[in-house]
A and B are shown apart, each in its own frame.
Chain A
Amino acid sequence: MVINTNALRDAVVSIFGERGFKAIERSVLVFVFALAVWALIWQLDLTVNGLLVGSVYALGAVGLSLVYGNLHLPNIAHGDYMTLGAFVALFVFGSLVPEVWSQNSVGPFTFSYTLFIALPIGVAFVAVFAVVVDQLVYRTMRRRGALPGVMALASLGVAIALRGFIQYIWGTEVEHFPRVSKKFFIWTVDLFYLQDVQVRVPPDMIFVAAAAIVLTLATYLFLNMTKWGKAMRAAADNEDLARVTGIDVERTNLLTWVIGGGMAAAAGILFATGQGQLLTISGWKLLIPLFAAVVAGGIGNPYGAFAGAIFVGVVGEVSTAWLEPSYKPAVFFAAIIVLLLVRPNGLFGQSRS
């Protein structure tokens, strides 16, 4: 364990010695951990909802982290890719599918089978869109060896342009997917025979969480088990070496965009389903928890991003027990800064030097 605040460390070491410092460090960590577990148990309702919210973040964060790691691009447009996917789905619901199809819902969920028509169309559209933008903008910049900051700025331009076009076409009002309202799942849990806690969960969120786990697992299997997945990881690790071994790096880059864009679209559609409403800035507003999740998990590590998203989601929800809900973004960042001080490369990140 490396603590980065050297001044504090030196002061403690000079008073208590190296072994004393280790003991203090360990006991502080144990105390903080115990405090966290205590908070999680007593706020069971918020913890469960935090896990579900975190899984929504995970859907977006996995794709974002993949693009970040493979193409060295902090894609500011990722949130707007999510919005684009959701609006393509809205178009499918509104214009392609007869309205009666959307009236019968699936099981306990608010959506109908038409979601499974809209989802692949939205995913395919955004995947193609991401590839086209890459060919028009980022490929030229990559060839020129642009710095990540400049690439990020280009993606900001893409984000602004995309949002402008979406608002031009669909307007800025709140939109809704067709939905049938359903009851929440409610469980009452008896905490150590001391207190009853009601856990209320919207059914859609369970579906979204399951989808997030399945998609992350699929990404994991693809990256580790298939030839193309291994090629992508090799290209991300060292582009020149990958090229020398005969990997077509341009093609792995395109594949990264197909997966990243497709997952962004899936995230946007499922998020709009879970929320019950869709705004042109929905995706943009998710950028902050998404980047927080990517950083928490270690940049460029998709499974780390999943864990980071869960971490961010739970911390954000549980904090609402004591703080105003609108302080959530601040809580994300306080948590991230503390995490980075203890682990400078995120939960699962490795030092690149």
Chain B
Amino acid sequence: MVEFEGIILHIGSFLVIAGIYAIINVGLNVHYGHTGLFNIGIAAFFALGAYTASILVMPPPNPDLYQRYEWGGNLAFTLGSERIGFDLWFPLVLIAAAAVCAAVAYLVGSVTIRLRGDYLAITTLGLGETIRLVFTNEGWLADGTRGLNGIPRVMDGLVDPHWYDFVFLPLVLIVLVIVYFVSQRLAASPWGRVILAIRENEDTVEMVGKNAFQFKLQAFAYGAALMGIGGALYAFAKHSITPAAFEPFFATFIIWAMLILGGSGNHRGAILGAFVLWAVISSSQFLPGFLGDPNLRLAVIGLLIVVVLLVRPAGLIPETRTRT
């Protein structure tokens, strides 16, 4: 019976994290799959969203726990989180995280998005590192390397904290569904068709009088906003965040592997890829014997990425190309 309960709990936490990765993956698909922007700095917006949300909900620092951040808590209190109640505050926090990420993406993009693909990639990687380093070094912002712990739970007290993942899961899935439908609708809109055309041939788009730069910038900001929402949900799901959680490996490259596995260029593939790869990663810890060695698991994940790229280069759900 205990074992059964353990499995159910594991599935709950698996679905929550996979759902969050799926949201971020839709954002990456807007960047790479649709617009062709080679963003390897997902960690930047992931971290920014998570930290924005946490700073907006953290209670004031507790000196007994040696918490020494200045922004968290005070900011939330000043803005009035107490007055409207936490459950109503939560969607506002998600929107704030998205807005901050979109604003940063717009600012950074307006300088770097003109660069050629390879060069843009390296500057986004740099942005990811820079944002992580800021949160690592600036203790007043979010307590430096110790990170923020005890992030409040939304809809707390409904069930035993042990089962909390099953309260949070519907919220994640609702956000995922909204993100999916909005992104799908946008991709089919005139705006989305321009975006796809930019990926195929930017010069043609310029020739028919569209400002490709502006469209790319908007797509960059929109994708970053989705990543920010994913980051915010991640902070609530984990209850604590540290800068180490946003190292490039787990916060950027795993998400890229998910997109390629699922099939870049369509949102259903992006979502499926997130669930499948996270299932493989999180269930591989139950492998018996020497296969369960964490280092060997790492090797197996690496080999899996290579094999998928060799066997199914277009991903699990290849993009359907439409003619208009």
Return the contact of A299 from the options B32, B118, B256, B310 (Cβ within 8 A). Answer: B118
* Dominant secondary structure at the B interface: helix
Which of A149, A291, A324 meets B125, CB within 8 Å?
A291
Interface contact A153-B133, CB-CB below 8 Å = no
The answer on a CB contact under 8 Å between B302 and A164 is: yes
0/1 interface trace, chain A 332-353, chain B, CB 8 Å (1 if under): 1110110011001110000010
Residue in contact with A333 in the complex, picked from B126, B302, B309, CB distance below 8 Å: B126
Establish whether residues B299 and A326, one from each chain, have CB atoms under 8 Å apart when the complex forms.
no
Tell whether A19 is near chain B: CB-to-CB under 8 Å.
no
Contact digits for B298-310, partner A, Cβ 8 Å, 1 yes 0 no: 1111111110011
Which residues 103-117 of B have a CB within 8 angstroms of A?
A: 111-112, 114-117
Q: In the complex the two chains form, what is the Cα distance from A291 to B120 in whole Å? A: 12
In the bound complex, what is the Cα–Cα distance between A40 and B304 (angstroms)?
48
Interface-facing stretch out of B49-57, B76-84, B289-297:
B289-297
A168-B295 contact given A149-B38, A153-B257, CB 8 Å threshold: yes
A140 and B295 in contact, given A153-B257, A333-B130, A341-B111 (Cβ under 8 angstroms): no
Assess the A340–B118 pair: CB atoms within 8 A. no
A187 within 8 A of B: no
Residue contact B118 to A157, C-beta cutoff 8 Å = no
Cβ of A336 to closest chain B Cβ, rounded Å: 7
Residues 104-116 of chain A, each 1 if its beta carbon lies under 8 Å from chain B, else 0: 0000000000000
Is A291 within 8 A of B306, CB to CB? no
Chain A at the B interface: SS class? helix
Contacts A160-B299, A326-B136 given: A154-B125 contact, CB under 8 Å? no
- Tell me if B256 and A156 are in contact (CB < 8 A): yes
> Nearest chain A CB to B252's CB is how many angstroms away?
10
Assess the B306–A161 pair: CB atoms within 8 A.
Answer: yes
What residues on A are CB-neighbors of B300 within 8 Å? Answer: 161, 164
Chain A neighbourhood of B32, CB < 8 A: 149
Chain A contacts with B in 287-312, Cβ cutoff 8 A: 288, 291-292, 295, 299
Q: Is the pair B298, A167 in contact by a Cβ cutoff of 8 Å?
A: yes
- B111-152 interface bits toward A, Cβ cutoff 8 Å, 1 = contact, 0 = none: 110111111011101110110011011000000000000000
The answer, yes or no, to whether A144 is at the interface (CB within 8 Å) is: yes
Residues of chain B within 8 A (CB-CB) of A332 are 126
Assess whether A330 is in contact with B126, with CB atoms less than 8 Å apart.
yes
Q: CB-CB < 8 A to A241: which residues of B?
A: none
Task: Please give me the residue from chain A that is nearest to B118 by CB atom.
Answer: A299
Q: A5 to B126, alpha carbons, bound, how many Å?
A: 19
Evaluate contact between A168 and B309: CB separation under 8 angstroms: no
The answer to whether B309 and A148 touch across the interface, beta carbons within 8 angstroms, is no
Partner of B133, one of A5, A168, A329: A329
Contact between chains at B306 and A159 (CB < 8 Å): no
How far, in angstroms, from A324 to B136 measured CA to CA in the complex? 11
**Given the complex, which residues of B lie within 8 Å of A156, measured CB to CB?**
253, 256-257, 302, 305
* A156 to B121 Cα, complex, angstroms: 15
Given A153-B256, A157-B305, also A144-B298 (CB < 8 A)? no
A165 within 8 A of B: yes
Would A295 and B122 count as touching, CB distance under 8 A? yes
A157 to B295, CA, bound (A): 14
Interface size class of B (residues with CB under 8 A): 35 or more
Q: Give complex CA distance A337, B109 in Å.
A: 12
B260 close to chain A: CB less than 8 A = yes
Chain A positions within 8 Å of B296 at CB level: 164-165, 168
Is the Cβ of B302 less than 8 Å from the Cβ of A158?
Answer: yes
A146→B313 CA distance, assembly (Å)? 8
What's the nearest-Cβ distance from chain B to residue A175, in Å?
A: 15
Please tell me if the beta carbons of B306 and A158 are within 8 angstroms of each other in the complex.
yes
Tell me the nearest residue of chain B to A337, going by C-beta: B123
A74 within 8 A of B: yes
**Best-surrounded residue of B116, B123, B302, B310 (most CB of chain A within 10 A):** B302
B119 cross-chain contacts in A, Cβ below 8 A: 295, 299, 340, 344, 346
Which residue of chain A lies nearest to B38 when distances are taken between CB atoms in the complex? A149
Chain A residues positioned under 8 Å from B123 (CB to CB) = 333, 336-337, 340
Q: CB of A162 within 8 A of chain B?
A: yes
CB distance from B293 to the nearest CB of A (A): 6
**In the complex, are the beta carbons of A326 and B313 less than 8 A apart?**
no
Chain A stretch 164-197: residues in CB contact (< 8 A) with chain B: 164-165, 167-168, 172
Residue ID in chain A nearest B145 by CB atoms: A326
* CB <8 Å contact, B299 and A164: yes
Q: Which residues of B contact A330 (CB under 8 A)?
A: 126, 129-130, 133-134
Interface flags for B66-106 (1: CB within 8 Å of A; 0: not) read: 00000000000000000000000000000000000000000
The 7 nearest A-B residue pairs measured at CB: A333-B126, A164-B299, A161-B302, A160-B302, A157-B305, A164-B298, A167-B295
6 contacts between A and B (CB under 8 A): A146-B313, A160-B249, A164-B297, A299-B118, A324-B137, A345-B116
Given A4-B114, A163-B302, 6 additional A-B pairs, CB 8 A: A165-B295, A167-B298, A299-B118, A332-B126, A333-B123, A333-B125
